[in-house]
Amino acid sequence: MIRFARTCAGRPSPDAELSMVTAEPGSTALSTARSTPSSRPLVAMDAVSKVFSNGTLALSGMSMTVRPGEFISLLGPSGCGKSTALRIIAGLGGISEGSIDWPSFRINARGLPDGDISFVFQEPTLMPWQTVFGNVYLPLRLKGLSKKAAADKIYAALESVGLEDFADAYPRELSGGMKMRVSIARALVTEPKLLLMDEPFAALDEITRQKLNDDVLALWKATGITVIFVTHSVYESAYLANRIVVMKARPGRVHADFPLHTSLERDVRYRTSEEYRQACADVSAKLSEAMGGEEH
């Protein structure tokens, strides 16, 4: 059960991304729900192409603007460049042509966003030799915070994902869903403005996945954080997002980009509503187009 009486910020782990961890040493992690009053985009990708060193053209002419407070689901066939696009948005991968700008972020000397962006991957990527506390501490340790100074932030992050009683547990003692919650807590502990999630729940059973979907939605509502959520699931995307971006492959680019509004709360009633059925049908139709009529 995720609770958001107190919210926190953070970011994830993997090595390449660790340089992006941001947290103001000494600042409090226990902020109240954040609003996003600025209408300046968070990210503006314009006609971006990406050619890897082996010659693979992963993206071509990809344009996408991310605005504060959005919950974007990014869908598309395998290999269409979703992860590549997410890494570029995170400032982790260079581009070959076009431009990318982060108008709402602090920019470092390399012209990249200086923190405030967190990544959650499909695998929780926890350090098995560290406790839950130690895993969530990692991004703050990399920012130079002592354990003592970081403790309040860490407990707030754990509380936000319902794991406050598991701070001393090791990853091997947790279920798959709990490990993913730790990964989310680690992503939140530095209070990012933008949360990038790359198929985070794909390996989980359906019930756990639905629960975590509800938890991420609650987090999004409580904090005002902006989310880009990559998924292969039409149902998951239609449940979560208020904007759908469907990509096409070879080369990767945007095929369809449309809002998903509903008058209903996204809860168990929404799952059985006509609006949700229609949203799934709309997303599915665009995905089929993007896949050239292939089954998905």
Binding positions for ligand ATP, rule: CB under 6 A: 52, 54, 56, 58, 76, 78-84
Residue whose CB is less far from ligand ATP, 82 or 266? 82
Residue whose CB is less far from Mg ion, 158 or 230? 230
Q: DSSP letter at 118?
A: E
Residue for token pair 């187009």: 289
| CA 201/CA 265 separation, integer angstroms | 21
SS3 47: strand
H/E segment holding residue 208: helix 206-223
- Spatial contact of 83 and 64, defined as CB atoms under 8 Å apart: no
Query: Smallest gap, in angstroms, from Cβ of residue 69 to ligand ATP?
Result: 25
Query: Smallest gap, in angstroms, from Cβ of residue 51 to ligand ATP?
Result: 9
What would the 3-class secondary structure string for 268-292 be? HHHHCCHHHHHHHHHHHHHHHHHCC
Q: How many CB atoms lie within 10 A of CB 24?
A: 13
Give the tokens for residue 196. Answer: 């990038």
Strands 43-51 and 97-101: antiparallel
Give the tokens for residue 160. Answer: 């936000």
Residue 223, binding choice from ligand ATP, Mg ion, none, Cβ under 5 to 8 Å by partner class: none
Residue 68, binding choice from ligand ATP, Mg ion, none, Cβ under 5 to 8 Å by partner class: none
Query: Smallest gap, in angstroms, from Cβ of residue 50 to ligand ATP?
Result: 8
Q: DSSP letter at 247?
A: E
Q: Is 231 in the site for Mg ion (CB under 5 A)?
A: no
Find, among 233, 254, 282, 261, the residue nearest to 66 by Cα. Answer: 254
Among 7, 13, 60, 83, binds Mg ion (CB under 5 A): 83
Among the listed ranges 51-59, 81-89, 133-141, 212-220, the one in contact with Mg ion (CB under 5 A) is 81-89
Query: Smallest gap, in angstroms, from Cβ of residue 55 to ligand ATP?
Result: 8
Residue for token pair 């003592």: 148
- Spatial contact of 220 and 227, defined as CB atoms under 8 Å apart: yes
Residue whose CB is less far from Mg ion, 41 or 77? 77
Residue whose CB is less far from Mg ion, 13 or 84? 84
Give the tokens for residue 286. Answer: 């665009």
Residue whose CB is less far from ligand ATP, 50 or 266? 50
Query: Smallest gap, in angstroms, from Cβ of residue 26 to ligand ATP?
Result: 38
Residue 80, binding choice from ligand ATP, Mg ion, none, Cβ under 5 to 8 Å by partner class: ligand ATP
SS3 48: strand
| CA 116/CA 118 separation, integer angstroms | 7
Query: Smallest gap, in angstroms, from Cβ of residue 197 to Mg ion?
Result: 11
Query: Smallest gap, in angstroms, from Cβ of residue 77 to ligand ATP?
Result: 7
Residue whose CB is less far from ligand ATP, 58 or 279? 58
Q: Compute how many residues bind Mg ion; rule: CB under 5 A.
A: 1
Residue whose CB is less far from ligand ATP, 52 or 258? 52
Residue whose CB is less far from Mg ion, 93 or 134? 93
Using Cβ positions, the residue closest to Mg ion within the complex turns out to be: 83
Query: Smallest gap, in angstroms, from Cβ of residue 156 to ligand ATP?
Result: 32
Phi and psi at residue 4, to the nearest 5°: -130, 30
Contacts with Mg ion, residue ranges (CB under 5 A): 83
